[in-house]
Amino acid sequence: MPEVVKKIYDEYDGPYVGMTQGFMPLLMLKRPEDIQAVLAGDFQSFHSRGIIANPNDLLADNLVFISDYQRWKILRQKLSPVFTSAKLKNMCYILDKCSRDFVDFVEVNQNMQEKPFNALYTYTTSTIGAAVFGIDTQTKNTMESPFLEMAWKSLEPSMKQNIVILMSNVFPFLYKMLELKIFGDYEEFFVGAVKKVLAERRRETTKRHDFIDICLELQKQGMMQDNTGYELEPTDEILAAQAFFFFIAGIDTSANTMHYTLLELSNHPKILKKLHEEIDKVFEGVSDEMTYNDIEKLHYMDQVLNEAMRKYPPIGVIQRLCSKDTYLPSGVKISKDNIVLLPVFALHRDKNYFPNPDVFDPERFSPENQSQINNYVYLPFGEGNRICIGNRFARLQVKVGLARLLRRFTLVEQNITLTFEKSPFGLRSPNDRYEFKLRNV
């Protein structure tokens, strides 16, 4: 879909382009001013993603899919503290343990070297599982995550899931009448796992600094309430849905970001050499365990990741449903229940915003150059009020994993042209590969 949308974006001039999705009209927005209005300035009119979930679909009742504004807002407010600097600092030991297990896992598992995307997927699943549920002291290797099979099945593009999502958008009445569920196949397993862990941890007194700690604290505080008097009880089911949000929002996107970063590094040995030098310098001043402050020193890695997410954004298209009649800065009227499409992949490859857009150049994001990038044309995590709540965690997770991986391995130089598989929102090429080579450090 991101490629299809980009083709239309490139073919037509003007501030917007009319399209259809099934029988539904869409309006693709091209001007940064209109995109800003949708994501921030007129957020009240565009707070919904327009993805319908049935009331009985427990796992879809999470921050990604919720359309009810008050329900979304109160959960967003209560869960935002999970991602403060202080929380991430406390959580960093979990990610570092996972990253050490990860590089050991890659070194001894030849099959994972032959299919590197699978290894990255294992890492992101395991780190998110550990960040949500804590590290199981009975598990010797954190890469042995019980959630790996569920993650593969629930997030890999499939005909069944595409049909369900299409019906929720194109035939919402039929979708509700048939009581279809987007993630129904995983409900019993995941909700059951959360309930079990919550019950076990209520008997503990030790802080683990994971998501379950936050859940227990919310439940101790009782009914959640906003300044309008709206109330929501933090039940096990509601909190399980928010935990599931970590998986659906973070596993595939973070694995793809790492994957495309490594693919581009294997194509650009000079950039790889410079990144190795930065990583080695940071490791020289630390013990075996990397801290949050150590990871924050990897400034060039930030540039490399920013450029990877520009060229291959984790989500290639964003949609929003208009909840009331409104006008955009370009003057076009958007009627209630119409959908607007934000062409992230097309914007990131627009030569007017990013000269030589197909060239991988981390210097675009150097301190002196980054400030010159137009607002609302670089959207790897979205932007505005509904910007990805876990973007800071995702960056930390990816940086820790890449730092450990590139400390132990380098990449054999290659020249590869990528092709994407079919996907409704993201950019994926899981079969493209690169070769790891042990370093002498």
- State yes or no: 388 annotated in a binding site: yes
In a domain, 259, yes or no: yes
* DSSP assignment letter at 1: -
Find the range with the poorest average confidence among 120-134, 252-266, 330-344: 120-134
CATH of the domain at 348: 1.10.630.10
The total of structural domains in the chain comes to: 1
CB within 8 Å of 249: residues ≥ 6 apart: 63, 64, 388, 390
In a domain, 211, yes or no: no
- Tell me the pLDDT of the chain averaged across its residues: 88
pLDDT number for residue 286: 74
pLDDT number for residue 327: 96
Band the pLDDT of 138: cuts 50, 70, 90.
low
pLDDT tops 80 at residue 213: yes
Query: What is the mean predicted confidence (pLDDT) over 419-436?
Result: 88
pLDDT tops 90 at residue 303: yes
At 47-62, the pLDDT tens digits run: 988 776 667 777 777 7
Closest to 378 in 3D by CA, of 359, 400, 352, 396: 352
Find the range with the poorest average confidence among 15-29, 246-260, 332-346, 385-399: 15-29
In a domain, 287, yes or no: yes
pLDDT number for residue 158: 66
In a domain, 216, yes or no: no
* CA atoms of 110 and 297, how far apart (whole Å): 32
In a domain, 427, yes or no: no
In a domain, 441, yes or no: no
At 151-162, the pLDDT tens digits run: 666 666 667 666
* CA atoms of 59 and 181, how far apart (whole Å): 9
Query: What is the mean predicted confidence (pLDDT) over 86-98?
Result: 90
306: left (phi over 0), alpha (psi -120 to 50) or beta: alpha
Give residue 88's domain range: 2-189+241-409
In a domain, 152, yes or no: yes
pLDDT number for residue 331: 93
In a domain, 24, yes or no: yes
pLDDT number for residue 156: 66
> What would the two tokens of residue 63 be?
């921050």
